[in-house]
Structure 1
Amino acid sequence: MVRLPYLTALTTLFSYGLLFAFGHFRDFFRRILDAGKSSNLKGYAPICLGYEDFYTRRLYLRIQDCFGRPIASAPDAWFDVVERHSNDGNKTLQRTTKTSKCLNLGSYNYLGFAAADEYCTPRVIESLKKYSASTCSARVDGGNTKLHTELEELVARFVGKPAAILFGMGYVTNSAIIPILIGKGGLIVSDSLNHISIVNGARGSGATVRVFQHNNPAHLEDVLREQIAGGQPRTHRPWKKIIVIVEGIYSMEGELCNLPEIMAVCKKYKAYTYLDEAHSIGAVGKTGRGVCELLGVDPADVDIMMGTFTKSFGSCGGYIAASKRSFNISSTHAQPIFMQHPCRLQQSSRSSLR
């Protein structure tokens, strides 16, 4: 875990505090100077009241040239950024005819796979001509093609799972599949820094949700022991299913999951595991197969492996890879069915934890 130096943290907070103080100081004198002036709104309410736009006026406008940079080339690993200037203190920005060649660090195209490539580009063009850009229909309504099946088989082989199913959007992969995997009477134990798509999927499932401290296997074990011993709320019956959800790489922190230790805890308490590899698949591991390959974890031990194509692979959509008994897939209907039997931890194990 990378810790932020105290000097950096203190100077950053001091800079924000200084901008905040001077911004309010300037607003105070502005109100005094404008006190005698008529607002001339002709019956209309003001657009902003009080300090509603304080952040925009006093902080964001000073640095807005750092954001929304227009480019003048394809968004490859390197691209041409259009230079801009301002004559009114960054309230408005004017483009110039000059460009700067910059390294692309603000894109999902991590490995440059979305760039023009002598191998991939001709095959993409050929596929577009043959299949068009979209089937214009959900797969269940007749939009399934040979490419869907081939890609599912390829993904399953790549991540080391028997089967996989595709989704059109990475965010929806989590938010839509989690409510299918578990429902009322089930327990979701989620890392405190999991992505919002996981949070929304867990909330929509109807299952009880408990959170463990970020990347902390010891606290995960404490939460599992407590929840298994207590059982479901009110009835105290055994949980129908327990799923522990973690990410391979936590996108906002850049931290690797302590997967081996977390897997050991899940095996001990016989809880299912759900691994989100949106940011780790294709980016880590000797052959790009994610944190399982990097940390020496057998993919067969992970019940559900989720990933997206919108990051390392420079495309769109997501996938769920699991054992064949987790799916009921045919050529016209692809509906994931997770294991329906109750949590493998039996009542005797619950009693021993009391």
Structure 2
Amino acid sequence: MPSPNSRGTSSPIALIPASPTASLFRKKSPSAMSTAASYLSAVSQADARARKLTDADSTTSTPALSLSSSVTSSSADTILNETSFHANDDGLSYPKVPPTSEQVFQTVHSEFGHCGNGSFRFNSGHQKGEPLKGVEEQEPPHFVLLTTYLSYLLLIILGHIRDFVGKRIRPAAYKHLMNQDGYMALNSDFDSFYTRRLKMRIDDCFSQPTTGVPGRTILLLDRSSPDYNLTYVPTGTRTRALNVSSYNYLGFAQGSGGCADAVEESINKYGVAACGTRLEAGSLDLHVQTEALVARFIGMEDSLISSMGFATNSTIIPALVSKGCLVISDELNHASIRFGVRLSGANVRMFKHNNMEALEQLLREVISQGQPKTHRPWKKILLIVEGLYSMEGTLVNLPVILELKKKYKFYVFIDEAHSVGALGPHGRGICDYFDINPRSVDILMGTFTKSFGAAGGYIAGNKNIIDRLRVSGHTGTYTEVMTPPVLTQIMASMASIMGVAVPQDNKSVVPAHVLAYPGPAPSTALPTWMPLVPAMIDGSDGKMRLRRLAFNARYLNRALRRLGFITFGHDDSPVVPLLLFNPGKMPVFARLMRTRATPIVVVIVAYPATSLITSRVRFCLSASHTKEDIDTLLTACDEIGDLLDLKQAIGERWPLKEIMDRAVEIVNMKEMP
């Protein structure tokens, strides 16, 4: 994002057009607008001036992003770049008509879109007592499957021909794949074939470098490849694009606002040296407070936090099960779960994804047969599932699993990396979504990298289990502890979701160790030095984020199906996979999205992350997106879908204009007709 001091560019992406007149909000000192209060004051002043330039009847919601291209700039992004208002601004990162002074917001427009329409809200939750109805997965027409297989076959044949000819014409280019001086090649020719001959063709769709905050928009570092994606050269320009590729579910990935102020205060308190590097050993008061707050947020007795989400699974599972135990795993569980199970030495059996009938049949078999060869009873049986599957967008059928748990007596471990904070009317995850007591589940695992805008992970459960894991789990003994800024971000974001119970008239609040799930956090559970704005204390900020995310997820899921696309997942999932199938359509879809007048950054997922023929694009939604942003995305999907012949779903289709006009009705329908 260019700074107001940028010169020498006329690109339309520039947020503040080059002007000889100095901006009133130009940053004069490093301490300017360092708090949310000062930022809101500046916005209020800008709002007052804007009222003189705009019509009173103008909408207060965020307009779609304006025409964008690349811009050369070396300065860092600042809040002030976007609080300056000019009558001729293009509105890319600040609305042409800023929000009214009555509309409270705590961050810049590019990070969190401003939406004052209360109709664009929804409460996430499942009707208790009703069965979970997933969306029926549709098979594409036979000609789509046939052309997909033929495309891969053609790529494989051409790849082998190129390798055969290349090894004889340019042997130096294949030196790393051949034996030399008695040494075996470090890379296997066969194993690296897919990477060299298939993935490299579309490598520009992956690992796109970015900078700044991955909020509602994201800033891409433009690059080009002179050698067909073998290497990349930065062009020196940057492009701001609509971001539907980050797991920023609640929009807490912000460079300003209440959480950022709290993190800044933690740096002032603990010092830059302690915050800049991870601590080798030991715990601070913040670690104890964070674990207590996490347990209260989840609804468990105790919790254990880890500095890395992947390591939380891979180091804790071996402490729960060992040789003579059985792990029953969903076939689409995350790689961290699979890795942890391998390290444990336990036997593992998989069942078809989210298929409760297959799970019960497997339970009957393993219980009746016992351990292999000896047929002795299993020491313990641990079922591991995910709350929300990030590749499929499906939710675990928790009510049925708990019924099976009562019947067959096994332990349940739920990975809530993507569901905690993103599901449920209170944002407490899959148990909250189904209105189930979280203590019905034995182990709840989650990460802070998605909904909370931080890093690391946690394990929550019975206090006896957690105490045992502190000793036997590698994540507590052999890993580095989390730094104060990360811990502060976790606590501040959780406090924003929960709200804070402040004592009144010297009356005491509920003690921190007493559970009041899913109630507010007692003020005694938070550091006394942590600054929190009123919207975080009363919980209105978190509630607004949860309801905006629920609306966005439900709207996009249902709208794409009404347009005729084949998608996976449940309506309330913030991860929306749209099936592309053909390998040639993956790069074209991503490139067309990125080169639109309003650039859009998407996630392309292909083999081996999915099966060979179910390549897809994943849209990752956030509370920071507005209804207009979703409309922009739908417009792009509608046009590109027609171009690439992606609308292969069976069922009633609606025109795009009708979908946009009836968005609120579509979201609030109990079931789509």
Q: State whether TM-score is above 0.5.
A: yes
Report the CA distance shift for 1:10/1:156 in structure 2 as closer, same or farther (over 3 A).
farther
Compute the displacement of 1:265 (Å): 1.0
Q: Does 1:114 align with 2:249?
A: no
Q: Given that residues 248 and 276 in structure 1 are in contact (C-alpha distance below 8 angstroms), is that contact kept between their aligned partners in structure 2?
A: yes
Corresponding residue for residue 96 of structure 1: 235
Alignment partner of 1:137 is 2:287: no
Task: Report the identity percentage.
Answer: 48
1:5 aligns to what?
140
Write the letter of the residue equivalent to 1:202: V
Q: CA deviation at 1:171?
A: 1.4
Moved more, 55-64 or 158-167: 55-64
Tell me whether 1:325 sits opposite 2:461 in the alignment.
no
SS of 2:378 mapped into structure 1: coil
User: Does structure 1 retain, via aligned residues, the 8 Å contact 2:460–2:466?
Assistant: no
Return the letter of the residue paired with 2:416: E
Question: Is residue 278–residue 308 contact of structure 1 (8 Å, CA) maintained in 2?
Answer: yes
Task: Give the Cα–Cα distance (whole angstroms) in 2 for the partners of residues 210 and 52 of structure 1.
Answer: 27
**5+ unaligned residues in a row in structure 1: which ranges?**
338-354
Letter in 2 for 1:268: K
1:76 to 215, 222, 235: 215
Q: Decide whether aligned partners of structure 1 residues 13 and 297 sit closer, same or farther in structure 2, where only a CA change above 3 A counts.
A: farther
Supply the AA of the counterpart residue of 1:137: E
1:306-317 equivalent positions in 2, closer than 5 A: 306-317=445-456
CA distance in 2, matches of 1:88, 1:198: 38
Question: Which residue identity does 1:84 align to in structure 2?
Answer: R
- Once the 2 structures are TM-superposed, how far is the Cα of residue 263 of structure 1 from its aligned partner? 1.7
Query: Which residue in the other structure is 1:302 paired with?
Result: 441
Pick from 360, 367, 373: which aligns with 1:221?
Answer: 360
More off after superposition, 84-93 vs 243-252: 84-93
Is 2:346 aligned against 1:207?
yes
Report the residue type matching 2:280 in the other structure: S
Quote the Cα distance in structure 2 between the aligned partners of 1:176 and 1:92. 36
Judged with a 3 Å threshold, the aligned counterparts in structure 2 of structure 1 residues 20 and 228 are, in CA distance, closer, same or farther, namely closer
When the two chains are superposed, the root-mean-square deviation of aligned CA atoms in Å is 3.0
Higher strand share: 1
What is the TM-score when the length of structure 1 is the normalising length?
0.79
User: Which moves more between the two structures, 197-206 or 298-307?
Assistant: 197-206
Cα contact 2:222–2:237 (8 A) shared by 1: yes
Deviation at 1:146, TM superposition (A): 1.2
CA distance in 2, matches of 1:160, 1:169: 22
The CA deviation string for residues 109-133 of structure 1, in whole angstroms up to 9 with x for no partner, is 3433222131011111111232332
Secondary structure, in 3 states, of the residue corresponding to 2:260?
helix
**Distance in 2, Cα, partners of 1:327 & 1:98:** 49
Deviation of residue 53 (structure 1)?
6.3
Shift of 1:267: 1.4
Judge conservation of contact 1:193–1:214 (CA < 8 Å) in 2.
Answer: yes
Distance in 2 of aligned mates of 1:88 and 1:13 = 28
Match of 2:292 among 153, 162, 166: 153
**In the alignment, what sits opposite 2:175?**
46
TM-fit CA distance, 1:75: 3.4
Residues 77 and 115 in structure 1, CA contact (< 8 A), matched pair in contact too? no
Q: Distance in 1 between matches of 2:200 and 2:400?
A: 46
Does structure 1 conserve the Cα–Cα contact (< 8 Å) formed by 2:222 and 2:236?
A: yes
Is the CA contact 2:414–2:445 (under 8 Å) kept in the aligned structure 1?
Answer: yes
**CA deviation map 1:288-337 (0-9, x unaligned):** 211111123321210111111122222111111112232338xxx94379
* Residue 106 of structure 1: how far off its partner (Å): 3.3
Q: CA deviation at 1:55?
A: 4.5
Residues 274-300 of structure 1: CA distance to partner in whole angstroms, max 9, x if unpaired? 111111111122222111111233212
Counterpart code for 1:242: I
- Residue 187 of structure 1, CA deviation: 2.1
Question: Is the contact made by 2:213 and 2:253 (CA closer than 8 Å) also made in structure 1?
Answer: no
**Contact kept? 1:217, 1:265, Cα under 8 Å:** no
Range with bigger deviation, 60-69 or 217-226: 60-69
Q: Which amino acid aligns with 1:178?
A: I
- Cα distance in 1 for partners of 2:393, 2:438 equals 22
> Take 2:371 and 2:193, find their aligned partners in 1: how far apart are those partners?
47
In structure 2, relative to structure 1, the CA distance for the partners of 1:261 and 1:52 (3 Å cut) is closer
Query: How far apart are the structure 1 equivalents of 2:419 and 2:444?
Result: 11
Count of aligned pairs: 323
Q: Distance in 2 between matches of 1:113 and 1:208?
A: 39
User: Per the alignment, do residues 91 and 262 of structure 1 end up closer, same or farther by CA in structure 2, a change over 3 Å counting?
Assistant: same
Residue 460 of structure 2 aligns to which amino acid in structure 1?
A
- For residues 322 and 383 of structure 2, what CA distance do their matches in structure 1 show? 14
Query: TM-score, length-normalised on structure 2?
Result: 0.44
Instruction: Tell which deviates more after alignment, 8-17 or 206-215.
Output: 8-17
Distance 1:221 1:84, change over 3 A: same
